[in-house]
Amino acid sequence: SSSSSSSSSSSSSRGLSSAPLPMAPPSLSTTGIVPGSYPEDGAHPEDAPAHPHPPPTPLTPLQTFWRDQMTEIENSFDFKSHGLPRQRIKRIMKQDENIKMISAETPALFAKACELFILELTLRSWEHTEDSKRKTLQRSDISVAISRTETYDFLVDIVPREDMKSPAKKIDEGGGGGG
C-alpha cells in the first residue's frame, strides 16, 4: 500500500503546477525533504533521494582560530591600536643596520603579526596540553608544538626539546642508587 501512495503522490506532485518551484529554505535541506515533494503531498523523507552533498566536516580548532582571526581583521578599522609597545617593536626592527626609516603603519603590522604568531603557537601548544590530559600549559608543550610544525623550524634551537626530562627526573628522585 505504501508503494501505491508514493507513486500516486509523485504523479500528483508533478501535475500540480507548471510554474517553477521556489527555492527551499536552507533548513529544509537537513530534513531530507526535496523541494516539490512536500509532506502534505504524501511524500516521506525516506522516499527522497540521498542528499547530493555530504555534510561539511567540522573545523579543527586551528581552522576555527584562523577563520575567526580573518573575520576580526576584515572587520577592523583601527589598525594602529594593539597590545604590544610600538617603541619596542621599532627598536627591534632597527636592530637591522640596513633599516634607516620605518613608516608609521609598519610597527602596527608587525604587532599584529606577533600577536597572531603568539596566539597560534599557544593554540598548538594547548592541543598538546589537552592530549596529555593536563590543564596547565608547560614549556614542553610549546617545544612539542614547535617540533610538530614545519613553519616553526626556526625556533627549534631557541626552544630545546624536553622529551625525556620529566620522566628522567622522576626516576632520579626515586633514590634507587644507594649501595
Domain ranges of the chain: 2-47, 61-173
Q: At what angle do helices 86-93 and 105-131 cross, to 10 degrees?
A: 100
Can you tell me the distance from the alpha carbon of 155 to that of 141, in angstroms, rounded to the nearest whole number?
Answer: 14
Centre a 10 Å sphere on the Cβ of residue 145 and count the other Cβ atoms it contains. Answer: 23
Model pTM score: 0.53
Model confidence band, residue 27 (pLDDT cutoffs 50, 70, 90)? very low
Span 61-173 CATH architecture: Orthogonal Bundle (1.10)
Per the prediction, the chain carries an average pLDDT of 72
Higher-pLDDT residue of 108, 7: 108
Give the cell for residue 98.
640596513
Give the position of cell 576584515.
74
Cα–Cα distance, 84 to 114 (Å, whole number): 9
Transcribe 65-111 into DSSP letters.
HHHHHHHHHHT----S--SS-HHHHHHHHTTSTT-----THHHHHHH
CB within 8 Å of 39: residues ≥ 6 apart: 33
The rounded Cα 7 to chain-centroid distance in angstroms is 46
Q: What share of the chain is helix, strand, coil (3-state, %, to 5)?
A: 55, 0, 45
Q: What is the pLDDT of residues 82-124, one digit of tens each?
A: 678 888 988 999 999 998 888 988 888 898 899 999 999 999 9
